[in-house]
A and B are shown apart, each in its own frame.
Chain A
Amino acid sequence: MSPTTENAAVPEAAVAAAKPPLLETVHLSRHFRVGGGLLSRAHLHAVDDVSMTIREREIVALVGESGSGKSTMARLLAQVYKPTSGEIRFQGRSLADLHGRRDQLRYRSDVPMVFQDPFASLNPVYKVAHGIMRGLKLHRPDLKDAEQRHAEAVRVVEAVGLRPGAEILERYPYEMSGGQRQRIGFAQALAYRPKLILADEPVSMLDVSIRIGLLNVMAQLREKEGVSFLYITHDIASARYVSDRVMVMYGGHVVESGPTETVLADPQHPYTQLLLEAVPDPRAPLTVTTEAARAEPPAVIDPKPGCRFRARCPLAVDACDQVTPVLQPLAAPDHQAACHVNAPGPSASAASAVS
């Protein structure tokens, strides 16, 4: 009855290969003008040259520290910001070609967003039902009357693990815990029958003990409703728990990407290695922290060519100062890293030839 059982017969790889990716970005960049004064020409490169794909029924984790550009990515995909350059394609069609309110609404219901702070993202003066019913009215013309909409609202609330749904809908946000509120955030998104949910740090404001419940909700929604997720986080351990693929961002660039287990078992970029070392794990001995852990992330204002991690990198060589490394394929399938030392490509060898 659920789409899971239908699709289970077809090998997933075959399905993925036959279709264009659900969402794709091509050399996507977003720069912000910074500094005082109208004449300021300084630009902050929040997202620089990011090409990525999200396939159907896939959970992709975007991992990085504060200021790495991961939230800007989410806002670009949600069309809060327009790209400075590059392109976003959804189901093979460029977002630049979306014209008119109908197209826009359609995209927004296909790709909704779940926000970080469940205490700020729900309107405190309305019942839970309000937000969900409004979304249904706007995005679900297939539901004919209030009764059908209410039934659907109950369904989505129960789909995120809140029971009994009818009773939950009558509650105000203040009557619910942080974890329950964030589930409502997911229920609102789910009401649009989305293809892809952009989840920007959905669990970072919650207690550790209830985070796992929300991560399980994401896994279930993928399983039962066939939704893809872009899961944005700075916690690589939770990324491992839910995601199929992981992309690590640093200073606006994707520095490593690949299947989650491959990247975590064999991290190639020194920044990915640092992120993994920083995860507190009581089951493992404390590893010696490097100088790199001390440093602050870069403010990427009018960057010169070169690797953005070089100042913190224990492996930095001359080439890192001169040539920006690009993602190079590594031994494992689909595993890529942008590092002159651990993933040398043609650009690095060209640079060493010069020096």
Chain B
Amino acid sequence: MPSSTLLEVRDLRVVYDSPRGPVEACSAVNLDVRDGEFVGVVGESGCGKSTLLFAIAQLLSPPARVAEGTVGFHGRNLVTMTEKELNALRWKDYSVVMQSAMNALNPVTSIGAQFKDAIAAHESWSRQQIQERSVEVMRLVGIDPIHLRSFPHQLSGGMRQRAMIAMALLFTPDLIIMDEPTSALDVVAQRSLMVQIKELQQLLGFAVIFVTHDMSLVSHFSDRLLVMYAGQVVEAGPTRTVFDSPSHPYSEGLLNAFPSIRGPKVPLTGIPGAPPNLADLPSGCRFHPRCPKVMDRCHTEAPELYPVGEVLSRCLLHQGSEAAS
């Protein structure tokens, strides 16, 4: 199914301007998303994953700005577009589902009225057309269309997230960007929403960029995985490969951070320490202060992304493995 490249992010660098100079939140990130592909972006709080997503969607507001790089979407660079040009694409060609639907939906208007606003921004449909399409997308996400008349507070957390996804589907965009849409939900609602997103994706063929801190969540749903740490991509590759044989110690740490419900009970340690302050990064490899496999060179030498089989890994352990393979 995945064929041509829909989104091409090249050397994207995002900085936050601060009184003490710019702080880099995304350093030279490259990312390709093909048509109909599900790409997971994982990492801890403060690793730059949400910044990356906002930069792709052109939703950054000062002090954050794109310092370098391009975001090619359908072959056009989103970074240099004007707001007016972007508005023509938003909702229609790509849409964004935010982390907290309670905050993303307007509390004082009904769900249906908000759908109508999004449609009216692009098309001059009749009331009946708007109604028909609204009912259609609500059915797609499994909410009774009667809730078009409901206000956000009248819906449960899971239903609000579904309503947000319904809104993102109004024009059946090519790309939907999701920022931890399930993190406010409990395990059962989370699982059911994930299954639903995957089913809709198969039905409608849109591509998804899915940001989460819970690596286990995307294991069964994403095609490719991007692991971020301290503003950098540290590992990128097919999801299954990354899960079966993580090649960066940080990915391995993330994978071993959650307890299993099967098999023997083993004591876990998680990843000791906390992600670094982006304004005061460690020398050499940014992960070295927390890394269980740290070597002397890691303190001074900054690793690049080295190819390891199907994946790319930013770890000196894999330096030169390209020549070997």
Listed in ascending order, the chain A residues whose CB lies under 8 Å from chain B are 65-67, 177-180, 207-213, 215-216, 234-238, 240-241, 261, 264, 274-284, 286, 289, 293-294, 296-297
* Complex contact A274–B261 (CB within 8 A): no
* Complex contact B261–A294 (CB within 8 A): no
Which residue of chain A is the closest to B254 with respect to CB atoms? A209
Of A210, A234, A240, which contacts B271 at CB under 8 A?
A210
Which of B27-35, B100-108, B216-224, B294-302 lines the interface with chain A?
B216-224
Most chain B Cβ neighbours within 10 Å, of A178, A179, A215, A293:
A293
Cα separation A178 to B254 with both chains bound (whole Å): 17
B135 at the interface (CB under 8 A from A): no
* Complex contact A293–B259 (CB within 8 A): no
* Complex contact A237–B190 (CB within 8 A): no
Listed in ascending order, the chain B residues whose CB lies under 8 Å from chain A are 44-45, 142, 156-159, 185-192, 194-195, 213-217, 219-220, 243, 253-255, 257-263, 265, 267-272, 274
What distance in Å separates the Cβ of A349 from its nearest Cβ neighbour in chain B?
31
Q: A66-B157, A278-B187 are in contact. Are A237 and B260 (CB under 8 A)?
A: yes
Which residue of chain A is the closest to B159 with respect to CB atoms? A296
Majority-rule SS of B interface residues: loop
Of B185, B187, B262, which contacts A283 at CB under 8 A?
B262
Of A66, A209, A277, A294, which contacts B186 at CB under 8 A?
A66
* Complex contact B157–A212 (CB within 8 A): no
Contacts of A241 in B (CB 8 A): 259, 265, 268
Contacts of B156 in A (CB 8 A): 66-67, 296-297
Nearest 7 CB-CB pairings of A with B: A282-B219, A212-B270, A241-B259, A234-B186, A278-B191, A280-B216, A286-B220
Cα separation A279 to B259 with both chains bound (whole Å): 10
Which residue of chain B is the closest to A295 with respect to CB atoms? B192
What are 16 A-B pairs with beta-carbon distances under 8 A? A66-B156, A66-B185, A208-B213, A208-B214, A210-B274, A213-B272, A238-B259, A241-B268, A261-B265, A276-B261, A278-B191, A280-B214, A280-B216, A281-B219, A282-B215, A297-B156
Of B187, B253, B262, B268, which contacts A234 at CB under 8 A?
B187
What distance in Å separates the Cβ of A255 from its nearest Cβ neighbour in chain B?
14
Which residue of chain B is the closest to A279 with respect to CB atoms? B261
Cα separation A283 to B219 with both chains bound (whole Å): 9
